[in-house]
């Protein structure tokens, strides 16, 4: 039975030549013609070429168990070809589990929770590292005025601060009116509608003024920062800056951070005044409390400490919002879908962090008695 693939040598039969996909059909026909070929009589001196298609035919001829022991009886066969035959034999011996595993709801739920916790931990580590990088860069530049980006900072103050004044003022004015109306509705049953002034003042000076302004900036400005830096990342503009020896943190991040550090306290002040104006309007129209009485009660009952407590939160919120927006922009991978997902992530993270920090600050100030 001599041919280019099978050679008879007495009682022994040698497999040789090229056992590859190119000759698969011919090899299949040749093996079908050799009905009396015994696996125990086969020797493997070596092949000129051997791939997975040829190895599968050899495994079918020899059997899985004999092929797995090829290193013991085919010592002349190169080690790479031995390893390929063993690997194909193991793959052909693996059971085919066609039935899908039944879902395990508790296990799947725990796995999902674990994955989310790992992702959250990784995200917070990245945020802390980026905050450290921003602070280190700011510290290195604070005493070097020549490297300050004044023009970029002023431009971002206009975009994130001045242009946001109308929406912040309108929103806080309406919320102030709603808070005054709800407070008056409840306090009217006790004959204490005059304390609506204190309710509006305390809520806006301590919480609502800074919180509403920060949430608006988180949705308006953090998303803009992420989209701007993400587009630059997609267009490889940030890589170009690095190639030119420029620091993206210094050039792109610090002007945005400083702009928010300046803008948010001013917007908070605008929000406080607008909220008080909304409460004063409701008090004048629905409660017969004049504007002069509103201002006198405000001056008499409300300490300036409440104003300072609310205003002190603004720089912290501003820094967190700006850093999260810039970090998510740097994490964009290059596609439009990545820009959209990281923009959404920056808004959600910023709002979550603002509310979390506000709750922690409220507990701290309460324990301090401020």
Pick the range with the lowest mean pLDDT from 91-105, 265-279, 304-318.
91-105
| Residue 20 confidence (pLDDT) above 60 | yes
Note whether 70 and 133 are same-domain residues.
no
Note whether 150 and 17 are same-domain residues.
no
Note whether 245 and 356 are same-domain residues.
yes
* Beta pairing class for 49-50 and 18-19: parallel
Note whether 62 and 124 are same-domain residues.
no
The answer to whether 339 and 234 are in contact (CB under 8 A) is yes
pLDDT given at position 360: 92
Sign of the CA dihedral running 303, 270, 175, 326: negative
**How many domains does the chain contain in total?**
2
Q: Which pLDDT tens digit goes with each residue over 233-257?
A: 888 888 898 888 888 898 899 999 9
| Residue 265 confidence (pLDDT) above 50 | yes
Q: Average pLDDT, stretch 225-237?
A: 88
Note whether 314 and 190 are same-domain residues.
yes
Note whether 255 and 320 are same-domain residues.
yes
Whether 73 maps to a domain, the answer reads yes
Note whether 210 and 336 are same-domain residues.
yes
pLDDT given at position 96: 55
Name the average pLDDT for the chain. 86
Final residue before a domain boundary, out of 42, 62, 93: 93
Note whether 125 and 232 are same-domain residues.
yes
Note whether 25 and 125 are same-domain residues.
no
74 in helix, strand or coil?
coil
* Beta pairing class for 42-43 and 18-19: unpaired
Residues paired with 8 in a beta bridge = 13
pLDDT given at position 99: 60
Note whether 216 and 358 are same-domain residues.
yes
Strands (E), the chain: 6-9, 12-15, 18-19, 42-43, 49-50
pTM of the model as a whole: 0.68
Note whether 148 and 41 are same-domain residues.
no
Q: Which pLDDT tens digit goes with each residue over 94-126?
A: 665 556 666 778 888 888 889 989 988 888 898
Note whether 40 and 122 are same-domain residues.
no
**Residue 74 belongs to what domain range?**
6-93
């Amino acid at each position: 039975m001599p041919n280019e693939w099978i050679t008879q040598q007495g009682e022994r039969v040698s497999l040789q030549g090229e056992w590859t996909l190119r000759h698969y059909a011919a090899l299949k026909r040749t093996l079908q013609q050799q009905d009396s070929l015994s696996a125990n009589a086969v020797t493997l001196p070596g092949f000129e070429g051997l791939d997975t298609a040829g190895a599968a035919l050899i495994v079918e001829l020899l059997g899985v168990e004999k092929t797995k022991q090829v290193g013991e009886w085919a010592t002349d066969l190169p080690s790479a070809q031995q390893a390929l035959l063993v690997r194909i034999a193991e793959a052909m011996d693996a059971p085919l589990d066609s039935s899908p595993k039944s879902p395990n709801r508790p296990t799947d739920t725990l796995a999902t929770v674990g994955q989310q916790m790992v992702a959250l931990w990784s995200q917070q580590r990245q945020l802390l590292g980026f905050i450290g990088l921003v602070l280190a860069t700011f510290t290195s530049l604070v005493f070097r005025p020549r490297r300050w980006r004044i023009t970029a900072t002023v431009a971002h103050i206009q975009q994130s601060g001045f242009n946001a004044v109308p929406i912040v003022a309108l929103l806080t004015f309406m919320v102030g009116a709603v808070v005054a109306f709800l407070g008056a509705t409840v306090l009217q049953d006790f004959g204490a509608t005059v304390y609506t002034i204190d309710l509006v003042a305390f809520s806006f000076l301590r919480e609502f003024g800074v919180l509403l302004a920060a949430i608006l900036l988180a949705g308006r400005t953090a998303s803009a920062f992420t989209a701007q830096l993400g587009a630059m990342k997609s267009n490889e503009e940030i890589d170009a800056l690095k190639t030119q020896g420029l620091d993206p943190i210094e050039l792109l991040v610090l002007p945005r951070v400083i702009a928010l550090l300046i803008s948010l306290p001013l917007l908070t002040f605008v929000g406080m005044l607008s909220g008080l104006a909304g409460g004063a309007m409701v008090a004048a129209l629905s409660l017969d409390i004049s504007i002069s009485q509103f201002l006198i009660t405000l001056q008499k009952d409300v300490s300036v400490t409440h104003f300072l407590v609310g205003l002190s939160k603004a720089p912290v919120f501003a820094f967190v919002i700006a850093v999260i927006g810039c970090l998510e922009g740097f994490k964009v991978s290059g596609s439009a879908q990545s820009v959209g997902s990281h923009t959404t992530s920056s808004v959600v993270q910023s709002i979550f962090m603002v509310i979390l920090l506000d709750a922690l600050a409220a507990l701290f100030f309460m324990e301090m008695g401020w």
